[in-house]
């Protein structure tokens, strides 16, 4: 049996098990390892980003297939602007191509596309495509797919705090600030995945991941596909989420729910 067939069999079997148990409502992914994937193969870094865009497609489709309510992808950080100009240009072109090629599938599957971050910093050819798909998909009721673009979590929190203070004054509370975050319309973050073996959050959804489960995969993002996502979801389902309670208290709550 070929590896491809073996993987497909594993995917279908694992998907059935994952779908039979409670899923996280909101999953976020730090997509890391494109450059290392390319360099290990003697290819230019852009080749890794191009292959990584295929992982975005595969993972998004699988997330929708199993029934996630929300998927947030860390596509480009505010700090990524400091990368070599040709790499940044290539990333922006890939993003524009993704928005063009996936537009029909987004609409056909009732996906609602959103974006967080400093969107105004994106080049106009990206902003125009992003605005169009966001506008066209705004009333869709399927999975919410959010792209974090030119995103900086500390700056997001600072801006949210300023807006909250203007609205409610100096006695601003956690709920007031949370209501001003760019993710306020999304379910609470349940699972944060990072690929490539790194174990950092890298200034991504710092407020939102306060009680999220964290999963770190050794797989580089261009090799992270349906099977790897399902494995992360299965691992999440095996964990006991206590939110400060004891295991006994959680068990009692489940019995009386």
Active site residues: 32, 80
Do residues 224 and 59 make contact, with C-beta atoms less than 8 angstroms apart? Answer: yes
The CA-atom distances, in angstroms, between 166 and each of 12, 117, 161, 172 are 51, 21, 9, 9
Spatial CB neighbours of 50, under 8 Å, sequence gap ≥ 6? 94
CA atoms within 13 A on the CB side of 105: 12
CA triple 56-154-245, angle to 5 deg:
85
Spatial CB neighbours of 224, under 8 Å, sequence gap ≥ 6? 31, 55, 59, 195, 217
Do residues 146 and 63 make contact, with C-beta atoms less than 8 angstroms apart? Answer: no
Q: Which two tokens stand for residue 78?
A: 């505010």
Strand partners, 73: 29, 147
Spatial CB neighbours of 195, under 8 Å, sequence gap ≥ 6? 29, 30, 31, 32, 33, 217, 219, 220, 221, 224, 228
Cα of 209 vs its chain's centroid, Å: 12
């Amino acid at each position: 049996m070929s590896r491809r067939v073996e993987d497909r069999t594993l995917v279908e079997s694992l998907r059935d098990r994952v779908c039979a148990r409670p899923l996280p409502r909101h999953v976020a992914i730090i997509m890391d390892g494109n450059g290392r994937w390319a360099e290990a193969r003697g290819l230019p870094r852009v080749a890794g980003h191009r292959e990584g865009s295929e992982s975005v497609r595969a993972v998004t489709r699988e997330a929708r297939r199993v029934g996630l309510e929300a998927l947030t992808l860390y596509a480009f950080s505010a700090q990524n602007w400091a990368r070599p100009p040709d790499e940044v240009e290539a990333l922006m072109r890939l993003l524009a191509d993704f928005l063009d090629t996936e537009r029909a599938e987004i609409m056909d599957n009732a996906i609602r596309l959103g974006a967080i971050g400093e969107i105004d910093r994106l080049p106009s050819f990206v902003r125009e495509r992003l605005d169009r798909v966001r506008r066209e998909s705004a009333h869709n009721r399927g999975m919410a797919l959010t792209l974090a673009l030119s995103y900086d979590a500390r700056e997001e929190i600072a801006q949210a705090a300023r807006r909250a203070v203007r609205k409610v004054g100096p006695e601003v509370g956690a709920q007031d600030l949370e209501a001003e975050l760019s993710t306020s319309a999304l379910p609470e973050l349940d699972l944060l995945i990072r690929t490539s073996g790194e174990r950092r959050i890298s200034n991504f959804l710092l407020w939102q991941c306060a009680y999220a489960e964290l999963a770190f995969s050794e797989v580089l993002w261009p090799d992270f596909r349906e099977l790897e996502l399902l494995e992360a979801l299965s691992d999440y389902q095996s964990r006991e989420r206590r939110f400060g309670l004891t295991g006994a208290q959680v068990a009692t709550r489940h019995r009386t729910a």
